[in-house]
Chain A
Amino acid sequence: MVGELAGNYSTVVLMFAFGIAAMAPALVISRMISPRKRSNPVKFLPMECGQVPSGEGRTHFMMQYYPYILMFVVFDVMAIFLYAWGSSLLELPKSATLPMMGFLAIMFGAMAFALYQSGRRRIW
């Protein structure tokens, strides 16, 4: 039963594997037929618009938009919970909607509060 359920997804994995199997040869062929001229010190430097690159390539990133990533972690899961309710809505009695309304209100309120906090530049 469980194996059958998982087996349905095998074609998705097959398609993924076919994508790799069909596209990896393109890189291999390209590597075989393309010219590989002798190197010089400048050739393999990272692109910085013609300047000699300075500093590390992997720099620090801004914290300014970091709260959005944190919010995503929470609200993505909550949005998926709504699907469990939405897909079985036609079989549920109407009274089952009330707790969901409460859930939506909490979610909406929490999101508004998180957005307000993320808008406060001073604390980030």
Chain B
Amino acid sequence: MSVIAPNFKLSGFIQSLLDNIFWILLLVVLVGVPAIFMILFVIPLPVIDGELLTPFLAFSALVNPTRLLPIIHAFLTTDIFRVMAFPGFGFAALLAASVIFVERKMMAKIQLRVGPFYCGKVEGILQLMGDGLKLISKEIIIPAKADKPIFWAAPVLFVATAAAFVALIPVAPGWVVADIDLGLLGVFAVIGFFPIITILSAWSANSKYPFIGGIRALFQMVSFEIPLILSLLGVVMLTGTLNLSEISASQSSFPWIIFLPIGAIVFFITMLAELERIPFDLPEAESEIVAGWLTELSGMMYGLVQLGSYLKLYAFAALFVVLFLGGWNGPMIVPAFPEQIITEGIEMGPIVLTIDGLGPLLHETITQEMLNGTLWFVLKTAGVIFFIILPRGVFPRVRVDLLLNLGWTKLIGLCFINIFIALGLLYAGVLGPGGLQ
């Protein structure tokens, strides 16, 4: 039970707050603003709205919203914003973090516990932040005789590879980090790196449990890669493209799960295996081999691997949504932004506030379609993630030979049936040219 420190005084707390604000303001005025000015004079600034951005203009933009909006608009369309924030790393990391919290609460409810409860006043909402602080302040212990460079690099590479996977996922029309024609093959290429990183991390630790776990992870990921690749062939045959944005756009009238349910089920099962989740969490089987290939990872290294695996979970769920559930398509439920505010401004008694840059921003970048698409995409992804984390509370773990047998015989057989269903739908004229689409 958390209690307030006994010698706590509200006046002292407020005084410390005011002190901090004073020092921050002083430092910003004396050091921060001159530093920003010097940097702005040195670097070349872009042309925005037909006007070269000078340092003076940039500063006046900071206090004037009508000047700031075009700069924000120009920033929103850059690659660096896409990589860092919206369809890229920031968005995915936020979703991944919320998945960790929801999973812990959901497992607790299934097992009749309360789960994270005390950290943060409302239902342990700050538990994740507390865990992060704990992990970052823990000592990283590396076993003797470990291959140190590889052992240090593996968690970072794991997160970076998961981020590269996220880069290929289209979130809304036009909102994707890497819009490439061979997007699906790019996904397969990125997925192929995960077993390598896992086995490198396991091998470099020079310890028995990580090594056994790494070998298991290698077998499992490698075996399920072929059903994974074959189960998506049906969708590619029906759409005739490998570009994920075009596949998503092709499902405006109906999602492919209606016609290819077998492919969707096979892809979901292989997804669970690739993500090392129950019932296929043999590489991390805690009752047999301590923590599998994560045994020797301590402190922030473990935290990074967890972040990477949840980024990977988000990316796989998003891939399922894009390929089978129609991606961003859905009925328009986001209300349109009132046109009056853009054209005439906001009327507040005697004065009228007009915002000049709002029109281009809302008509070109943050459109109604984009908001609606993102909303549907997030809703569908959350639904798929729910079904991914649900088996953890329900199913036991399977044996390794049963797992390999399942992957190599049953799932590949179902994949071939799926391919023939897609072929039949095309040649019977149900779908494709002359058919429904």
Q: Footprint of B on A, CB under 8 Å?
A: 8-9, 11-20, 22-24, 26-27, 29-31, 33-37, 43-49, 53, 55, 57-59, 61, 65, 68-69, 71-72, 75-76, 79-80, 82-83, 86-91, 94, 97, 104, 108, 111, 115
Of B60-68, B297-305, B328-336, B390-398, the segment with at least 4 beta carbons within 8 Å of chain A is: B297-305
> In the complex, what's the smallest C-beta–C-beta distance from B275 to chain A, in angstroms?
18
Interface flag for B101 (CB, 8 Å)? no
Contacts of A76 in B (CB 8 A): 225-226, 229
For the complex, give the distance between the alpha carbons of A42 and B240 in Å: 60
Task: Given A46-B207, A65-B219, A104-B416, answer yes or no on A20-B164 (Cβ-Cβ < 8 Å).
Answer: no
Residue contact A12 to B140, C-beta cutoff 8 Å: no
Residue contact A82 to B233, C-beta cutoff 8 Å: yes
Cross-chain pairs A/B with CB under 8 angstroms, 29 sampled: A11-B79, A11-B177, A12-B167, A12-B177, A14-B79, A15-B166, A19-B159, A20-B156, A20-B160, A24-B156, A26-B300, A27-B152, A27-B155, A29-B136, A30-B300, A46-B143, A46-B207, A48-B207, A57-B145, A68-B219, A68-B223, A69-B222, A82-B230, A83-B184, A86-B233, A87-B242, A90-B240, A94-B427, A97-B423
Q: Which residue of A lies closest to B147 (CB)?
A: A58
Task: Given A11-B167, A22-B89, A76-B229, answer yes or no on A43-B159 (Cβ-Cβ < 8 Å).
Answer: no
Q: Which residue of A lies closest to B221 (CB)?
A: A72
Residue contact B136 to A69, C-beta cutoff 8 Å: no
Q: Footprint of A on B, CB under 8 Å?
A: 79, 82-84, 88-89, 135-145, 152, 155-157, 159-164, 166-168, 177-181, 184-186, 188, 190, 203, 205-209, 211, 215, 218-219, 222-223, 225-226, 229-230, 233, 236-237, 240-242, 290, 295-296, 299-301, 303-304, 307, 400, 404, 408-409, 412, 416, 419, 423, 426-427, 432-433
Contacts of A18 in B (CB 8 A): 83-84, 88-89, 163
Residue contact A30 to B178, C-beta cutoff 8 Å: no
Residue contact B143 to A34, C-beta cutoff 8 Å: no
9 shortest interchain CB distances as A-B pairs: A19-B160, A46-B207, A19-B163, A57-B206, A15-B167, A30-B300, A90-B240, A11-B178, A44-B144
For the complex, give the distance between the alpha carbons of A53 and B138 in Å: 24
Residue contact B186 to A12, C-beta cutoff 8 Å: yes
Residue contact A69 to B219, C-beta cutoff 8 Å: yes
Residue contact A88 to B240, C-beta cutoff 8 Å: yes
Contacts of B138 in A (CB 8 A): 30, 34
> In the complex, what's the smallest C-beta–C-beta distance from A29 to chain B, in angstroms?
6
Residue from A30, A48, A79 within 8 A of B136 (CB atoms): A30
**Which of B135, B141, B408 gathers most chain A CB within 10 Å?**
B408
Residue contact A27 to B240, C-beta cutoff 8 Å: no
Residue contact B143 to A58, C-beta cutoff 8 Å: no
Contacts of B233 in A (CB 8 A): 79, 82-83, 86
> In the complex, what's the smallest C-beta–C-beta distance from A18 to chain B, in angstroms?
5
Residue from B177, B223, B432 within 8 A of A15 (CB atoms): B177
Residue contact A68 to B295, C-beta cutoff 8 Å: no
Residue contact A79 to B230, C-beta cutoff 8 Å: yes
For the complex, give the distance between the alpha carbons of A26 and B132 in Å: 10
Contacts of A22 in B (CB 8 A): 89
> In the complex, what's the smallest C-beta–C-beta distance from A39 to chain B, in angstroms?
9
Q: Which residue of B lies closest to A7 (CB)?
A: B180
> In the complex, what's the smallest C-beta–C-beta distance from A117 to chain B, in angstroms?
12
Contacts of A89 in B (CB 8 A): 237, 240, 426
For the complex, give the distance between the alpha carbons of A21 and B423 in Å: 45
Residue contact B137 to A72, C-beta cutoff 8 Å: no
Contacts of B186 in A (CB 8 A): 9, 12
> In the complex, what's the smallest C-beta–C-beta distance from B22 to chain A, in angstroms?
26
Residue contact A115 to B156, C-beta cutoff 8 Å: no
Q: Which residue of A lies closest to B167 (CB)?
A: A15
Residue contact A15 to B88, C-beta cutoff 8 Å: yes
> In the complex, what's the smallest C-beta–C-beta distance from A93 to chain B, in angstroms?
12
> In the complex, what's the smallest C-beta–C-beta distance from B358 to chain A, in angstroms?
29
For the complex, give the distance between the alpha carbons of A20 and B433 in Å: 45
Contacts of A97 in B (CB 8 A): 423, 427
Contacts of A35 in B (CB 8 A): 139
For the complex, give the distance between the alpha carbons of A97 and B205 in Å: 50
Contacts of B225 in A (CB 8 A): 72, 76
Contacts of B89 in A (CB 8 A): 15, 18-19, 22
Task: Given A47-B295, A83-B236, answer yes or no on A57-B409 (Cβ-Cβ < 8 Å).
Answer: no
Contacts of B140 in A (CB 8 A): 27, 30-31, 34
